[in-house]
Amino acid sequence: MTGRLTIAAAALFAGFLAGTGPAAAERLVTSISRHQVLVNSSFTGTSIVLFGTVEPDSPTARRATAYDLIVTVSGPKQIIVERRKERVLGIWANMASRTFLNVPSYLAVLSNQPVEQIANADTVRTQQLGLADKLLPQQLGNDVADVVRDDPFRTNFIRLKTRQNLYLQRANGVTLLTPTVFRAEISLPAVAPIGNYDVDVKAFADGVLLTRANSAFEVVKVGFEQFVATAAQDYGLVYGLTTAMMAIMTGWFAAVVFRRD
């Protein structure tokens, strides 16, 4: 009985060794500078620094080619409607629209060189490596699907998001400090929405994905801003009455202070 177990364990262990094999395996270790970004009244955007190393499992298994890294940061999912203005009776009005379902509110693709040079076109597309390759589900009639890459609603959606600094792709966003140690700076604009942000780090060599690691951080409103935003959303009536009272008090105060008769 005991003997059989030992054999089984030995076999498993042998299989494990064979699986990883002589083809070197790497480990990705990352560390993020902050796990929480606090939005207060003086918040004008910030940046978070991610450090990491790609470690070969054994020192002898060092590769001949350099490592490539792609860091993808995606913010809380949102439902966003996009509208297009058309000329109707001489004036410009919103006519056609497209709804994007559960798309990242923030999306950053940072790499140490253009993603097209890290992997071949096929891999880039299937693994959604570039900003333009990300899945953007849209409501199309009764279906939810993504559309062809050069669809005008899709390209303009990415362009508008990029202009707000909410979507970005930087081919120099990751700096390799040594062949194995890297640093990436994630910049968050002031309009970055509140919520959880996922950080996905992928290490490539010779156009092949070696390993990946995940991390996350959170953007939260704090103090007065948090208080006001929650009050407006959850206690609309009290909030409205308070604001109206504040207006009346301000007006009354001015009338008293500037009294001329």
User: Angle, to 10 degrees, between the axis of helix 236-257 and the axis of helix 223-234?
Assistant: 120
- Tell me: does residue 2 bind another protein (CB under 8 A): no
Question: Is residue 248 close enough to count as binding another protein by CB under 8 A?
Answer: yes
Residue 232, classed as helix, strand or coil, is helix
255 contributes a contact to another protein by CB under 8 A: yes
Q: Among residues 87, 141, 142, 178, which is the contact residue for another protein, using CB under 8 A?
A: 87
Options 157, 182, 197, 204; binder of another protein; rule CB under 8 A = 157
Shortest separation between residue 250's beta carbon and another protein, angstroms? 4
3-state SS assignment for residue 50: strand
Residue 154 in the binding site for another protein (CB under 8 A): no
Q: Which is nearer to another protein, 145 or 177 (CB)?
A: 145
Residues 168 and 193: their CA atoms lie apart, in Å, by 15
Give 255-258's long-range contacts (Cβ < 8 A, gap of 24+).
Answer: none
| Contact between residue 105 and residue 76 where contact means Cβ atoms under 8 Å apart | yes
Residues 176-205, interacting with another protein (CB under 8 A):
190-191, 193, 195
Minimum CB–partner distance for residue 94 and another protein (Å)? 5
At its nearest, how many Å lie between another protein and the CB of residue 33?
A: 21
Of 155, 183, 188, 163, which is closest to residue 71 (Cα–Cα)? 183
Contact in structure between 207 and 66 (CB atoms under 8 Å)? no
> Which of 221, 203, 220 minimizes the C-alpha distance to 212?
203
**How far is it, in rounded angstroms, from Cα 167 to Cα 179?**
28
Minimum distance, C-beta of residue 196 to another protein, in the bound complex (Å): 11
Q: How far is the CB of 118 from another protein (least distance, A)?
A: 30
User: Pairing between strand 36-39 and 174-176?
Assistant: unpaired
Residue 78 is a binding residue for another protein (CB under 8 A): yes
- CB half-sphere exposure, 113, CA atoms < 13 A: 12
Selected range binding another protein among 46-54, 121-129, 142-150, 227-235, rule: CB under 8 A = 227-235
Site membership for another protein, residue 80 (CB under 8 A): yes
Contact between 7 and another protein (CB under 8 A)? no
Q: Which residues contact 257 (CB under 8 A, 6 or more apart)?
A: none
Q: Taking CB under 8 A as the rule, does residue 150 contact another protein?
A: no
In the complex, the residues that contact another protein under the rule CB under 8 A are 39-44, 76-87, 90-94, 97, 99, 102, 105, 153, 156-157, 159-161, 190-191, 193, 195, 221, 224-226, 228-229, 232-233, 236-237, 239-244, 246-248, 250-256, 258-261
